[in-house]
Structure 1
Amino acid sequence: MKKYITLLFLLLVMGASCKKDYIALEDPTKISTADLYSDANGLGLAVTAAYGTLQDIYGKGTSGTGMYLFTDVPSDNSNALVSGAGLGDFDLFTVAPENVNLSTQWQNFYKCIARCNAIIGRAPGIDMTATLRDRYIAEAKFLRALSYFNAVRIWGGVPLVTKEIQSIDESLSYKRETVANVYAQIEKDLTDAETVLPTSYATADLGRATNGAAKAILGKVYLTEGKYGQCKTKLAELLPRGTNAWGYDLLPLYSDIFSTSNELNKETIFAVRYTKGGFGTGSPFFNWFVPNQSGSTIATVGGGSGFNTIMPDLYDAFPATDPRRGFSIASYVSSGVTYYYTKKYTDVPANAMDSNNDWIVIRYADVMLMYAEAENELNGPAGAISYVNDVRRRAYGNTTNDLTATQTSSQGNMKLAIETERRLELNMEGHRWFDLLRTGRAIDVMNASFTKYQTKNGTVVIQISAPHNLLFPIPLREIQINPNLTPNP
């Protein structure tokens, strides 16, 4: 998939470089809609373009916007130590509807959804093999579901567009759908996709969505909705470790998960793919997340931006004996102040914001901890503890640090233990804020964090006790364009 996304970029550049001695009335860098959806090759390019929008959603060097801004920065794991571009507002819950990052991400989601809708709607009319056509449709449904899943957790009910829009008037007729109906569509898309998508791909197509990825995301959707029985049943299909149909398992070494030389390993279920080299497809995360105080000391190419800086509380949350802290977090001292940053996206960029690091959307440790969470909600800690301890044993390399029955003597204790384990195991991978929302703990955890870190002269200057802070504002630009859209409280 990395190769195909890069190839698509090169084709566009080559088209742009063609010189003519007359005025071209059609943009030579774009493939016409009629040509794109005329045969199997064109449809394949359309599907690749839909995957390409994931780079916009999860982070691209042309914009500071990425999922981290909605998933890590608002949480107690990190903050944005920059005042420009409205990034710091996500840390302090002062995001205004006119914040450019809101409208950028909204447009990114709906660009992906629009491309998927076109594929799903037009593919049946293309003369090609049914097997490949059905797979392309299933891939588009997976990507559409993933976009809506992220959007509904950020904004609540959003416009539910499931077909290609034909006119401006039609686009302005859409209102915000109920949260329940958005989730119903997500479930349907993923259920459809998992019955068609393959278990694996040939080397050239690695990185595309598999039926295992659809099952894993669907399990997370069920867990988010509180459908614990359906979550457990779905995630059980991905168990047991190693001997499941996909070969999913925990890697022996935690640090190997994030190595750019070990991408798409057996622990990675789905990732957004990036390739460095000046093609416009490199990942920006290393440059974005390194402290800007470090200049080019750490990120020797492109320097650091400090967009997603680890808070001391996350560093301190790790027991000193937990090897994951050393694998995950590094520090830089400037003027006597220690700045922590993630090591999970370390690379040598080819250019500024042009690295090889993929963004892992979901991996096997996440599945195991979600299964434990669902089991605990259904039956208590007895059946959940072994899955948490499997994750801990990989981290520590022994059984000495296993959770004990005494530590998890109640459902509530186990719930908090799983929450902590997810925070440590999946730190800075874009899960913490959504975890706090799902468990209903966001207000308590964040108020405690602000009490600890935002107290001046004995007064806590920020609190998020108001439930409206659990959703982000609908972008002002969208409300101004479409009067049918209503704002969040």
Structure 2
Amino acid sequence: MKNLIKTLTLSMVAIATFNSCQEFEDDYLEGPAISTIADNVIFANPDLAQGAVDGVIEIIAHTNSYRGRHIPFYGFNTDVEWNYNSSSVGNSSGELVIYDAKPNNGQMDRDNSSWNEIYIGIERANKCIEGIRTFGTEEPGTELGRLLGVALTYRAVFYSDLIKAWGDVPARFEPINSETLYIAKTSRDTIYKQIIADLKIASDLVPWPNEDSKTTTVERINKAFVKGLRARIALSACGYQQYPNDGVRRSNDPDLSVQKMYKIALDECRDVINSGTVGLEPTFEGVWRKLNEENIIVGGESLWEMPFSDGRGRVNFSFAVRHRMVDQNTGQARGGIAGPLPTVFYDFDEDDTRRDITAVPYEWSTQIGEVPSPDPTKDSNVAFTQQTLAGLNRWYFGKYRYEWMNRYVTSDNDDGINRLYMRYAEILLMAAEAANELEGPAAGAVYLKELRRRAFPAELHAEKVDDYVNALSSKQAMFNAIVDEHKFEFTGEMERKQALIRWNLLGEKLREAKEKMRNLRDRTGEYADVPTTLYYRYLDNDYTELDEDDETIVIYGLNRGETVNPGGDYIAQDWTNLPENEINSLFLEGVDPDTRQFWPIWQTFIAASNGKLVNDYGY
């Protein structure tokens, strides 16, 4: 059973929630703060300090925090992923993903949305960092030193997510007091430099995976993740991004130059690679089976996961292959609010083992009988459903599947699956990108080859790995291949948007994606040989004893050129439904996504800021 970190110590009682500055003044500045009285006890004691640091990450499970708002909506839409609320005109969820968010957005303009909750986490981290430095120790090899490194890392996670979503944000690196209650936004360059420096300190304090009893699960911070996060943030810090009144550009700060930041990224990634403490799973499918099976043992591909208990978290609830009813696989009829663009499947090499895991063309929706409920608390039957073709315009992320879970989900709206925040494949791809930039394509090739070896069968390595990568003889050719590889590796993980922004490709790739979908719809250009009809049957059409063969669909016609009716008991289905209004909904017509790279600060927080906060970017 996974361990959601819930314990809050006495020091957490006095932490501000930011949803009302007046409430903070009334409740916490008028009398003695409970946490101040207790800090010298809490942060000098490793066991008590552990509880306080665990409390930092507890905010992810709050209803409108990462759990119910940030994870389901941040990162859409891209050239590979879209949220199916996009085409619903006036839908408040859709506005968040089509580059048309308003400050009064119905999903987010509330005092407990993710903006607020992330700052709660930051304040908790600030209390822990100050407390350990004042009353504990910063010495490497000590438990309090490790906890300081964990708190610094949590704070860096929160700030990096704030910057990705909002650009410049208020910077708080010390606990709030009466003089800092209301502050303006800080340049993200300043924040980048602080958290990059913090993560250098943290990497010296936090043990490697399995080096310590506290780094044996992917729910605990370890050195491999700290270094990987520092690399990711360094690449973002020197990358392209939209600045207020200044358009899209790189940072002008010499401390955040491409040369310096790529050097940090390459050094950190090579440290992780050379450590031998983590590595690729033997198969791509294995990565996602482990996630869905809630296997949290560290040392494989997952570097860190945001932990959710069984009754919290909406990863599968949001992104799993869609189940239209309670059935033999899940006690909640959910999943499928988003999926890969219909072009993604056809952009893969047909021999790439990542394809069928990444893009799934079916949902669970046809009932063919009933079976006893797998829920041990219920003495009843549930529907037995089959995999059913969804339509060219509705694909699902096969990385998230109720049917791969070892546990039958019984909650109405939570599934307990962790958010996989970083994995080793990203270390390899960042290393390839940084090495290519600093040392040339031959230096990047070794890392790209390692990633592709896992993707293709061994008998195809000579052609699909060695020949393919060796042909990338220029820096630009290698970079272009890395951009493509990122698509094939990370579709459905909502990392693509930030990557496209820092590569200065967001608007270009989104416009290209619309044209590609039109080409697929019309079967022209690169999709001229994609079949217009699919043929399907089931492994077993005898429903006398319902089992896995009765639910499993067999499809012919997904591969290019598969146009001949296979006959037999196959059933034909049209595969052309891709309406223009849905294609157009990838981003709001008439809006340049490069002018809407960030969400606006929600009106609730603008109004409560005492005039300190304003929206930029024309909001």
Q: Deviations over 1:23-66 (max 9, x none)?
A: xxx9xxxx9636864332332211111122244599765x2x12
Unaligned runs of 5+ in 1: 13-25
Percent identity reads 21
- Aligned match of 1:365: 425
- Residue 612 of structure 2 is matched in structure 1 by 484
The answer as to whether partners of 2:352 and 2:456 remain within 8 angstroms in 1 is yes
CA contact (8 A) 2:56 2:151 kept: yes
Structure 1 residue 205: deviation in Å?
6.2
The one-letter code sitting in structure 1 at the alignment partner of 2:509 is: V
1:236: which partner in 2? 270
Structure 2 spans left out of the alignment, 5+ residues: 13-26, 28-32, 239-257, 364-387, 518-578
Structure 1 CA distance, aligned partners of 2:221 and 2:63? 16
- Are the structure 2 counterparts of residues 204 and 418 from structure 1 closer, same or farther at C-alpha, using a change threshold of 3 Å? closer
- Residue 466 of structure 1: how far off its partner (Å): 5.7
Aligned counterpart, 1:5: 5
Counterpart code for 1:121: E
Distance 1:180 1:77 in 2: 29
> Partner of 2:383 in structure 1?
none
Alignment of 1:218 with 2:278, yes or no, is: no
| Alpha-carbon shift at residue 289 of structure 1 (Å) | 1.9
1:208 to 212, 220, 231: 220
SS of the aligned residue for 2:410 comes to coil
**Does 354-363 or 414-423 show the bigger shift?**
354-363
Among 104, 120, 129, which residue is 1:120 paired with?
Answer: 129
Q: The residue matched to 1:274 in structure 2 has which SS?
A: coil
Superposition pairs of residues 128-207 of structure 1, within 5 angstroms? 131-167=142-178, 170-172=180-182, 174-199=183-208, 200-202=211-213, 206=217, 207=219
Distance in 1, matches of 2:161 and 2:48, equals: 28
State the secondary structure of the residue aligned to 1:93: coil
| Aligned match of 1:75 | 78
3-state SS of paired residue (2:422): strand
Distance 1:117 1:456, change over 3 A: closer
2:379 aligned residue: none
Task: Classify the secondary structure of the residue corresponding to 1:158.
Answer: coil
Counterpart for residue 419 of structure 1: 483
The 1:179–1:203 alpha-carbon spacing in structure 2 relative to 1, beyond 3 Å, is closer
The 3 A distance-change label for structure 1 pair 235 and 46 is: same
Give the stretch that moved more between structures: 318-327 or 400-409.
400-409
- Give the aligned partner of residue 33 of structure 1: 35
Contact 1:92 1:462 in 2 (8 A): no
2:595 aligned residue: 468
Aligned AA for 1:430?
Answer: M
Cα 1:387–1:323, aligned 2, differ >3 Å: closer, same or farther? same
Indicate yes or no: 2:394 matched with 1:390: no
Q: Secondary structure at the match of 2:396?
A: strand
Match of 2:368 in 1: none
Q: What's the offset of the Cα at 1:118?
A: 0.9
Does residue 449 (structure 1) correspond to residue 513 (structure 2)? The answer is yes
Higher helix proportion (structure 1 or 2): 1
Higher Cα Rg, which structure: 2
Q: CA deviation at 1:303?
A: 1.0
TM-aligned CA distance change 1:262 to 1:140, over 3 Å: same
Q: Contact conserved, 2:324 with 2:333, CA < 8 A, in 1?
A: yes
Distance in structure 2 (CA, Å) of the matches to 1:311 and 1:59:
26
Separation of aligned partners in 1, 2:230 and 2:454: 25
Asked whether the equivalents of residues 373 and 418 of structure 1 are also in contact (C-alpha less than 8 Å), the reply is yes
- Residue 47 in structure 1 maps to residue 53 in structure 2: yes
| Secondary structure of 1:361 counterpart | strand
* Secondary structure of the structure 2 residue equivalent to 1:430: coil
Check whether the contact 1:74–1:91 (CA below 8 A) recurs between aligned residues. yes
Q: TM-score, normalised by structure 1?
A: 0.84
